Structure 1
C-alpha cells in the first residue's frame, strides 16, 4: 500500500481481525509512520 501510494506516512491502517495479521500490522505500522486501528471480536483470545 505504501509503494502504490494507497497509504501515506501518517495514514491509518484499519484491520478487522483477531489473528496474526492484525497483530503484525499493529506492530509494523508505526515503523512506517502510520497509525493502526484493530477491531477484534469480544471472544478473541486475551493472549493476542
Structure 2
C-alpha cells in the first residue's frame, strides 16, 4: 500500500508541476490562437464583400 501511495504522490507532483507550467508559462500564446482564426475569417469575409 505504501508503494501505491508513493506512486500516487509522484503522479500528483508531476500533475501539479505540469499545471504550474501551464498556468505560468503560456498566458499569451494560449489565447492568441483562439483569437486569430475568427479575425482571419472576418478579414476574409470583408475582402470577399
Structure number with higher helix proportion: 2
**Relative contact order higher in (CA < 8 Å, ≥ 6 apart):** 1
Give the structure-1-normalised TM-score: 0.30
Structure number having the greater strand percentage: 1
